[in-house]
Structure 1
Amino acid sequence: MVRRRPGRVEGSFYALFAESGAHLVTGAGLVAQLLDPQVDQRAVADAMREAEHRADETTHRIIKAVNSSSLVPFDREDVHRLAGCLDDVMDHMDECVDLVEVYEVEALPVAFADQVQVLQRGCELTAQAMTRLRGLGDLEEFCFEINRLENQADRTHRRILADLFGGQYRTLEVLKLKDVVESIESAIDALETVANLVEQIVVKES
């Protein structure tokens, strides 16, 4: 398969995907602020809603571009799917921050910090990968590392759940914290979905 040289229209897609990746880094940083017990949860939630809104705008611009352009960087369906998967990561992070505020969570499980660290690293790697979509080169390590991080997060997730149901939390508190923890797990799972899709695109376009 002969790869065509990206033109100005195609180049705009790469810029938009890089923008989407940058939104994820911002979102993960806001989630990390929740680890500070003194943080103003409402302020963090407001900032996250604004960040999620900006991410939505970028996603809409990608969809609008793919629907109106004759030239796209790779398969149109894959452009749609990649934009949607990136948006899913942001949505799950927004959900996490919103739940912490709505539930008025006072203390998160200790191991939650490990999940946030994985989330931040995954978002940083994904943002870097989005800047390398042009040419689809040097992305294999990204896919491998995201899968490794997701496996690590799964193990931590199981430990957190075991701790939540270990008897030291009140029932209502368990239910609230479980929702928060699940939202982070979903965000990390969504990062793996992005990586798997990128891997598929690389294979398909090679």
Structure 2
Amino acid sequence: MRFRIRPVETSFYDLFTEMANHLVEGANLLAQMLDSSTDKKALGEQMREAEHQADETTHKIVKRANSTFITPFDREDIYRLASSLDDVMDFMEETVDLVGLYELGDLPADFAPQVEVLQRATQLTAEAMPRLRTMKDLDEYWIEINRLENQGDRSYRRIVAHLFGGSYKSLEVLKLKDVVDSLEHAIDALESVANTVEQIAVKES
């Protein structure tokens, strides 16, 4: 039987929860992007600020890991989880930035399911982070994230098929394809977060 003394150090769990809540905010900002009345420039500024706040939290996690003698789980896993969470925010910020840079107006309606997947997955991730304290009741989280990622893949393929279906001009196709690719990367990054949590839970059980 494996015994391990866990330090009474709760700040890592609080910081991971804080980071995941930044992702929830980012996904909600993405949802506003679908509203034709949204000021895209103002939205871009809000998203950059959210990404900056997420970066600050990531730096706090890394700094705490570097300065803590005994971490609640493997130091390498702390770095990997922090990096995976940060990747999600980076891709969401990239999505909004591209919409602004390309001066896109209304996005196709079939982009909405991708954003809904992101919103649901980020919410589940935020709810899961506090459970790292006990490593219990996490299996439903990564199973559902995997299901959502598969759902996102199906939506992605439908969107791409629609873009190349002849309804859009070639330049517009390229711009919209970049945007939906960033959305897809964000969803994939959320699955990477869930996979990392699963690996940590298995190692610590």
TM-score for both structures, normalised by structure 2: 0.98
- Residue 2 of structure 1: aligned partner: 3
- How far 1:99 sits from its partner (Å)? 0.5
- Cα distance in structure 2, aligned partners of 1:112 and 1:90: 18
- How far 1:5 sits from its partner (Å)? 4.1
- Cα distance in structure 2, aligned partners of 1:95 and 1:11: 32
Q: Which amino acid aligns with 1:63?
A: V
- Residue 147 of structure 1: aligned partner: 146
Q: Which runs of 5+ in 2 are unaligned?
A: none
- How far 1:3 sits from its partner (Å)? 4.1
- Residue 92 of structure 1: aligned partner: 91
- How far 1:6 sits from its partner (Å)? 3.8
Query: Match of 2:168, SS?
Result: coil
- Cα distance in structure 1, aligned partners of 2:42 and 2:7: 41
- Cα distance in structure 2, aligned partners of 1:4 and 1:43: 49
Q: Which amino acid aligns with 2:5?
A: R
Query: Match of 1:131, SS?
Result: helix
- Cα distance in structure 2, aligned partners of 1:50 and 1:178: 25
TM-score for both structures, normalised by structure 1: 0.97
Query: Match of 1:83, SS?
Result: helix
Q: Which amino acid aligns with 1:69?
A: T
Query: Match of 2:38, SS?
Result: coil
Cα contact 2:6–2:72 (8 A) shared by 1: no
- Cα distance in structure 2, aligned partners of 1:3 and 1:111: 49
User: Identity of paired residues, percent?
Assistant: 64
Cα contact 2:85–2:190 (8 A) shared by 1: yes
Query: Match of 2:133, SS?
Result: coil
Cα contact 2:35–2:106 (8 A) shared by 1: no
Q: After TM superposition, which residue ranges in structure 1, 4 or more long, deviate above 3 angstroms? A: none
Q: Using the TM superposition, name which of 81-90 and 101-110 deviates more.
A: 101-110
- Cα distance in structure 1, aligned partners of 2:29 and 2:72: 31
- Residue 35 of structure 2: aligned partner: 36
Equivalent residues, number: 204
- Cα distance in structure 1, aligned partners of 2:6 and 2:69: 14
Could you list the per-position Cα deviations for residues 137-184 of structure 1 after superposition, in whole angstroms to 9, with x for gaps in the alignment?
A: 110000000000000000010000000000110011001000000000
Q: Using the TM superposition, name which of 126-135 and 144-153 deviates more.
A: 126-135
- Residue 26 of structure 2: aligned partner: 27
Could you list the per-position Cα deviations for residues 108-154 of structure 1 after superposition, in whole angstroms to 9, with x for gaps in the alignment?
A: 12210010000000000001111211011110000000000000000
- Cα distance in structure 1, aligned partners of 2:92 and 2:75: 27
